[in-house]
A and B are shown apart, each in its own frame.
Chain A
Amino acid sequence: MHARILGLAAFAACLAMPAIAAVALSDAAGSYTISPAGSSIRFTIGKAGGGGFDGAFGRFKGTIRIDNGDVGRSKVDLTIYPESVGTGQGRIDAFLKSDAVFDAANSPEIQFRSTSVTRTGDTTALVTGRLTARGKTFPEKFTAELDGLKGGTIKFHVTGKVLRSRYGMDVGTPLYSNVVSFDMTLMGKRG
């Protein structure tokens, strides 16, 4: 009896899984422009003695292209304007924008260009790419999870960790962790 129910469940799962995946991919395929209104780019840096400090970038732009036949050929481009950084504390914002950290006056853009997208699950993918900040470029990895697909909009939840010291932003270590944890919601609009 149990075996039969299990067998039935397994059969149903086999039937259902590829179907969802296939539908999601063909539905999702296309080019999207990241909409700042529905998106957010937040980050957290741990502090010695516990806690951490949070911030977000207010201005950014980018595109997401999902390949119809091959997810691996999908592409993500993201440009962040560090001048728009906000932490809720004006003095910290000024510090972050200064040449102590972002040097926003001389390096007004932080860019991410994906080089490969690997599907890791039904709704998840590993996005590898090149991150450029303050004139330095290094490969970085982000995890993207499909968070919604409706009408002409697609939403991803993207997380990843970046070592800031590599980009000439090591000020404050070890008081503040070298690891910057990103938590982004990227909403794309078709077209």
Chain B
Amino acid sequence: MQSITNTATRYGWAMIILHWLIGIIFIGQFVLGFVMVRIESQRTSFELIQLHKSFGFLLLGLIILRIAWRLRNAAPPLPPSVGNLERRTAPLAHFALYAFQLALPLTGWALVSVSTLEIPTMPFNLFVMPNLPLTESDASERFWASAHWYLAYAGIALVALHIAAALRHHFLLRDSVLSRMITPSSAGE
């Protein structure tokens, strides 16, 4: 019987599903964002930008859920084999990852809210998402576009570090850090 909640040594399946779902969408959003502003066809570009907005709001919903879940479910401590330096820096890196996950959709939302193009936002064509109460102007649009851009590159760099660390744990240190984010905790643990 697999547990939804975390235990003393393992992650529950709710945390595992949220982790991988958000991870895939986050990386997908980076690729989509990179492509959508470079593609030549204005039509495809427009459609990809709307898709990027849709997934951005999905990401925002998932990350709020994840943070709420995390606040009620302490992460299992690192295995004893993990060194002192990593024991101190890993929580900072994880905190920063959460901050990026929250900041990226929010800066994106700010960007569409202040854009002088005034393009409405309809996540997956389901409903109209209101804009944030910010004043639109070309200068604000440039500011939020830059903020979103820099955060995206910094965020994806941190994700790359996160992936490298996970692979190091699994293949070099051969500990349970990666595998416990794949196999959920059992009720018996």
Question: What is the interface of chain A, defined by CB distance below 8 A to chain B?
Answer: 47-49, 51, 53, 89, 91-92, 94-95, 98-101, 171-172, 174-176
Given contacts A171-B46, A172-B46, A175-B50, contact A99 B41 (CB under 8 A): yes
Given contacts A48-B128, A49-B128, contact A175 B120 (CB under 8 A): yes
| Nearest-Cβ distance from residue A85 to partner chain B, whole angstroms | 14
Residues of B within 8 A of A48 (CB): 120, 122, 128
| Nearest-Cβ distance from residue B155 to partner chain A, whole angstroms | 27
Question: What is the interface of chain B, defined by CB distance below 8 A to chain A?
Answer: 41-43, 46-47, 50, 116-120, 122, 125, 128, 130
Residues of A within 8 A of B130 (CB): 49
Residues of A within 8 A of B118 (CB): 47, 51, 53
* Given A98-B43, A175-B119, 11 extra CB contacts under 8 A: A47-B120, A53-B118, A89-B116, A89-B117, A92-B117, A99-B41, A99-B43, A100-B42, A100-B46, A171-B43, A175-B120
Instruction: Report the bound CA distance from A145 to B120 in whole Å.
Output: 35
Contact between A174 and B125, CB atoms less than 8 A apart? yes
Instruction: Report the bound CA distance from A98 to B47 in whole Å.
Output: 14
Contact of B47 among A89, A91, A92, A171 (CB under 8 A): A171
Contact between B122 and A174, CB atoms less than 8 A apart? yes
Contact between A95 and B41, CB atoms less than 8 A apart? no
Contact of B122 among A98, A100, A175 (CB under 8 A): A175
Instruction: Report the bound CA distance from A175 to B43 in whole Å.
Output: 14
Contact between B120 and A100, CB atoms less than 8 A apart? no
Residues of B within 8 A of A100 (CB): 41-43, 46
Chain A: CB-nearest residue to B44 = A100
Instruction: Report the bound CA distance from A49 to B119 in whole Å.
Output: 10
Instruction: Report the bound CA distance from A94 to B50 in whole Å.
Output: 18
Chain A: CB-nearest residue to B43 = A100
Chain A: CB-nearest residue to B129 = A49
Residues of A within 8 A of B46 (CB): 95, 100, 171-172
Residues of A within 8 A of B119 (CB): 175
Give the 9 A-B CB pairs with smallest separation, nearest first. A100-B43, A49-B128, A100-B42, A98-B42, A48-B120, A49-B120, A175-B120, A171-B43, A48-B128
Chain A: CB-nearest residue to B45 = A100
Instruction: Report the bound CA distance from A48 to B42 in whole Å.
Output: 21
Chain B: CB-nearest residue to A97 = B42
Residues of B within 8 A of A171 (CB): 43, 46-47
